[in-house]
Structure 1
Amino acid sequence: MRDALEQAYDLKGLKCPLPVLKTRKRLATMHSGAVLVVETTDPLAVIDIAHLCQEDGHTLRLSEKTPDGHRFEIIKA
């Protein structure tokens, strides 16, 4: 079960640049310190999500391979 400050975001099936664009838009609606758990299947998301976090000051708490793609846990700056 996710706590109130954690949101799941399923972006599986979307191709670059949509996962990073949608992640940025969702993070903009969240409070500082909240966690966004993003699931993707686009292999470029590994680079793009890390770059987004670095650019915008968010913390990439987790980046892991899953059986069908990748999972990221991002703490909103």
Structure 2
Amino acid sequence: MTRIDARDLLCPLPVLRLRKALMEVAAGDQVILTATDPMSVVDVPHFCGQAGHVMVAQRDLSDGAYEFTVQRGHAAPPPEDI
């Protein structure tokens, strides 16, 4: 399982790191993101809904961080920018 530590990064960096990690795993695989940015509790679920990924779990950690478990969706990845 892929883990991303995005502590101390501000919007949009946690979601961008999550997006990159999801593009590198197979459909159905899970990625765990840890972030401290309070906006990540809004941004990550919104990103998942827009990109076709599944938010499996979200929890608050004791150190003030948030942990998101995201499963890559089955849709084809978006085309690369030219």
Question: TM over 0.5, yes or no?
Answer: yes
- Render the CA deviation track for 1:11-50: whole Å, top value 9, x for unaligned: 1110111101111111111100110011000000010000
**Residue ranges of structure 2 left out of the alignment (5+ in a row):** 74-82
Paired letter, 2:70: I
Structure 1 segments of 4+ aligned residues over 3 angstroms from their partners: none
Identity %: 31
1:57 to 47, 52, 58: 52
Pair 1:70 & 2:66 matched: yes
Distance in 2 of aligned mates of 1:7 and 1:20: 15
When the two structures are superposed, what TM-score results if normalisation uses the length of structure 1?
0.89
State the aligned residue count. 72
**Residue ranges of structure 1 left out of the alignment (5+ in a row):** 1-5
When the two structures are superposed, what TM-score results if normalisation uses the length of structure 2?
0.84
Greater strand percent: which structure? Answer: 1
